Chains A and B, each alone.
Chain A
């Protein structure tokens, strides 16, 4: 700092200081073209920072339904359960009541009153 005070006393360095002050007071103006180029660079670089957007996939109705039902495994389970239900309905295990009895319909070998099926069959065989 002491050195700077000394330089101010020197006329030629005072002139230099005045010139430096002039330069300081008139900084260069950035042109519109340069500013636009800088901002374009910024946008380009900034785009590289952002995570890639997830692609939007369009699903048809069946694909959406499959997704809701849990995919292939879920649908497989549903089909298996459905088939098991039909099978149990047709041939229920012994410990379960006959569903036809539950409906109140009784089965008989007599198809029509007065006719015995066994007799009709034996007549045909003769």
Chain B
């Protein structure tokens, strides 16, 4: 089994700390897309998401010599850094204050959906709906339903209990449904 032979993120990070150059490339291939995905869903802006991804990966490299293998998952650590950086960025953009549970302004409705492919339209619609959620709900639903992390992992990343995660994801999905209400036909979803 090839997957059984692949080194864990833990092992790669230790190799990196010991000077193995290839380990950096392997870790980047594994983790950077996940970091970028979360950052893009959290921020709704690719340029900002790329900056956050680079910064989060930089923190990973710097932390490598102090990493204690087996104590936590590298990906969990990275998700926490990425989401915290996203929240910090949003807070700075709002002049130092961000109410994590407040409903933000709706995202700009720059669409041009008519000429877009339906898949792209669906992704855009989802992103617009995500941006209308409070940050904590957005964070929870992205980690649960797009990154497919377990509730205990999300609880660890967000620093809350598992029940709070369940509550946040449930409210987030209801919020998304509300934001997308009336766009079913536009997005090509038909009853039956």
Question: Per-position contact with A for B16-42: 1 when CB-CB < 8 Å, else 0?
Answer: 111101001100100011101100110
- For the complex, give the distance between the alpha carbons of A41 and B61 in Å: 8
Which residues in chain A, 1-60, are within 8 Å of chain B measured between CB atoms? 3, 7, 10-13, 15-20, 22-24, 26-31, 34-35, 37-39, 41-43, 45-46, 49-50
Is B126 on the interface with A (CB-CB < 8 A)?
yes
Which of A7, A11, A38, A39 has most B Cβ within 10 Å? A38
B170 touches A39 (CB 8 A): no
Contact: A28 with B28, CB < 8 Å?
no
Given contacts A41-B58, A42-B24, contact A16 B180 (CB under 8 A): yes
Instruction: Decide if A39 touches B33 in the complex (CB within 8 Å).
Output: no
Of all chain A residues, the one with the shortest Cβ separation from B35 is: A30
B91 at the interface (CB under 8 A from A): no
> Do A41 and B21 touch across chains, with their CB atoms under 8 A apart?
no
Interface of A is mostly: helix
Given the contacts A45-B62, A46-B19, A30 and B32 also touching, CB distance less than 8 Å? yes
Query: Is B122 located at the chain interface by the 8 A CB criterion?
Result: yes
Residues in B67-120 with C-beta less than 8 Å from chain A = 119
Could you tell me if A38 and B32 are in contact, using CB atoms closer than 8 angstroms?
Answer: yes
In the complex, what distance in Å separates the CA atom of A35 from the CA atom of B53? 10
Given A34-B32, A34-B54, also A46-B173 (CB < 8 A)? no
> Does B135 count as interface, using CB distance less than 8 angstroms?
no
Please tell me if the beta carbons of A42 and B61 are within 8 angstroms of each other in the complex. Answer: yes
Q: Mark A103-122, 1 if CB is under 8 A from B, else 0.
A: 00000000000000000000
Q: Which of B19, B32, B49, B180 contacts A35 (CB 8 A)?
A: B32
Q: Could you say which of B25, B37, B125, B177 has the most chain A C-beta atoms within 10 Å of its C-beta?
A: B177
Closest to A6 in B: B170
- In B43-63, the 8 Å CB interface with A consists of 46, 49-50, 53-54, 57-58, 61-62
CA distance A50 to B180 in the complex (A): 53
- Which single member of B36, B61, B181 contacts A12 (CB below 8 Å)? B181
Residue from the list A13, A15, A43 in contact with B24, Cβ < 8 A: A43
| Across-interface contacts of B181 in A (CB, < 8 A) | 12
Residue B187 CB within 8 A of the other chain: yes
> Given A22-B119, A34-B50, A35-B28, do A28 and B177 touch, yes or no (CB 8 Å)?
no
* Residues on the B chain within 8 Å of A20, using CB: 126, 141, 145-146
Q: A15 near B33 (CB under 8 angstroms)?
A: no
- Which chain B residues have a beta carbon within 8 Å of chain A's beta carbons? 16-19, 21, 24-25, 28, 32-34, 36-37, 40-41, 46, 49-50, 53-54, 57-58, 61-62, 64-65, 119, 122-123, 125-126, 129, 141, 145-146, 148, 166, 170, 173-174, 176-178, 180-181, 184, 187, 189, 191
In addition to A19-B125, A20-B141, 6 A-B residue pairs with Cβ atoms within 8 Å of each other are A11-B184, A11-B191, A12-B178, A24-B146, A39-B24, A45-B61
